[in-house]
Amino acid sequence: MIALERDVKSQCRRAGTEFAVTVRVQQFSDEYAAAVVELVHGILRDEFSFSGASAEQTDLSDIRQHYGHGASNFWIAVDESRLVGTTGFVDLGSRQCLLRKMFVRADWRGRGVARLLLDKATNWATEHGFAELYLGTNSKFHAAQRFYTKHGFAPVSPESLPDAVPRLNLRDRFYFRSL
């Protein structure tokens, strides 16, 4: 994995007040491993009542192993030293890739963090010659579905997914975007 880091300032509007936020999107490092697990499991458990979902998140037990082959990668969004978001990118082969683990802390949503993470992944995909980007989400994640549609993803049936896309019980909505 190539170490990439980017500082981004985005103007945010909350309750009529505009303020600047600096979020750094960087490649995953082991010092954030526990924070990544807590963020993902916490959102699934506390916001969506998926208490058993951690069993399906085996990729988080060794992020470097699961996101370390081919052009696969994993990025985190950090404010100072606090983890505020994650996303994973899986090289499926045949110029196809999979976006995974797009999670943003509740108190950081609406501030452009998800867009920064998505931009990082799509730029990475384009730079590495991918043509097709897939993702899976859950029907309970209404905001995520709106976000993906707004950013050029179209719903697809599970039957149209590449064979290399893992089938997990948690994911019941799938999306596709040409790159």
pLDDT digits (tens, 9 = 90+) for 104-123: 999 999 999 999 999 999 99
Domain assignment of residue 93, yes or no: yes
Domain range spanning residue 34? 5-134
Domain assignment of residue 167, yes or no: no
Count CA atoms closer than 13 A to 114's CA, side-chain side: 21
Domain assignment of residue 105, yes or no: yes
Instruction: Give the chain's domain count.
Output: 1
Domain assignment of residue 15, yes or no: yes
Domain assignment of residue 152, yes or no: no
Judged against a pLDDT cut of 60, whether residue 8 lies above it is answered with: no
Domain assignment of residue 128, yes or no: yes
What pLDDT does residue 123 have? 97
CA pair distance 96, 101, nearest whole angstrom: 17
Judged against a pLDDT cut of 60, whether residue 12 lies above it is answered with: no
User: How many other CB atoms are there within 10 angstroms of residue 21's CB atom?
Assistant: 16
Specify the range with the lowest mean pLDDT, choosing from 1-10, 140-149, 150-159, 161-170: 1-10
Spatial contact of 95 and 130, defined as CB atoms under 8 Å apart: yes
CA pair distance 85, 126, nearest whole angstrom: 22
What pLDDT does residue 53 have? 61
Domain assignment of residue 166, yes or no: no
Judged against a pLDDT cut of 70, whether residue 1 lies above it is answered with: no
CA pair distance 112, 24, nearest whole angstrom: 12
Q: Looking at residues 29-48, what average pLDDT do you find?
A: 95
Residues in the chain: 179
What pLDDT does residue 52 have? 67
> CATH code at 76?
3.40.630.30
First-residue to last-residue Cα distance in the chain: 21
Please report which confidence band the pLDDT of residue 21 belongs to, taking 50, 70 and 90 as the band edges: low
Domain assignment of residue 112, yes or no: yes
Q: Looking at residues 120-143, what average pLDDT do you find?
A: 97
The reply to whether the predicted model has a pTM over 0.75 is yes
What pLDDT does residue 54 have? 63
Tell me which of 145 and 166 has the higher pLDDT: 145
Q: What is the mean pLDDT of the chain?
A: 88
Count CA atoms closer than 13 A to 11's CA, side-chain side: 3
Judged against a pLDDT cut of 90, whether residue 50 lies above it is answered with: no
